[in-house]
């Protein structure tokens, strides 16, 4: 059986997104909860890699890491402004259709 996705929300993703995901039974950690508020992007990526989390971000620096060939457990890049509900619904769909293995070194653009 494939391992379910655990999301790591960078500090720019609203807390309400984490609350919505948790309400739906989806594992999520916020940067603030991990003690990484104001951490470098490299520190966020390293934490997510160590904890086997998919990074959810609006920060294009994470796309650069991917282009440079830096290994990661997946990135969901939020390209556009969306409501909390839209973000939660999208992340839920990703969690229901993809496994953590599917997301390894993969980017979902939304």
pTM of the model: 0.95
- Structure confidence at residue 81 (pLDDT): 87
Q: How far, in Å, CA of 29 to CA of 31, rounded?
A: 7
Tell me if 45 sits within 8 A of 71, measured CB to CB: no
Determine the average pLDDT of the residues in 6-10.
97
14 contact partners, CB below 8 Å, separation of at least 6? 84
pLDDT bucket at 2, cuts 50 / 70 / 90: confident
Percentage with pLDDT > 90 across the chain: 95
- Span 6-109 CATH architecture: 3-Layer(aba) Sandwich (3.40)
pLDDT at 1 over 80: no
């Amino acid at each position: 059986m494939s391992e379910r996705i655990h999301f790591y929300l960078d500090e720019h993703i609203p807390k309400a997104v984490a609350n919505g995901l948790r309400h739906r039974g989806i594992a999520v950690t916020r940067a603030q909860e991990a003690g990484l508020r104001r951490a470098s992007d490299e520190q966020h990526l390293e934490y997510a890699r160590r904890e086997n989390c998919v990074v959810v971000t609006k920060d294009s620096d994470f796309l650069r890491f991917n282009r440079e060939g830096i290994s990661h457990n997946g990135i969901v890049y939020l390209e556009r402004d969306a409501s909390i509900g839209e973000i939660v619904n999208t992340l839920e769909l990703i969690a229901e259709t993809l496994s953590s293995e599917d997301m390894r070194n993969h980017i979902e653009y939304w």
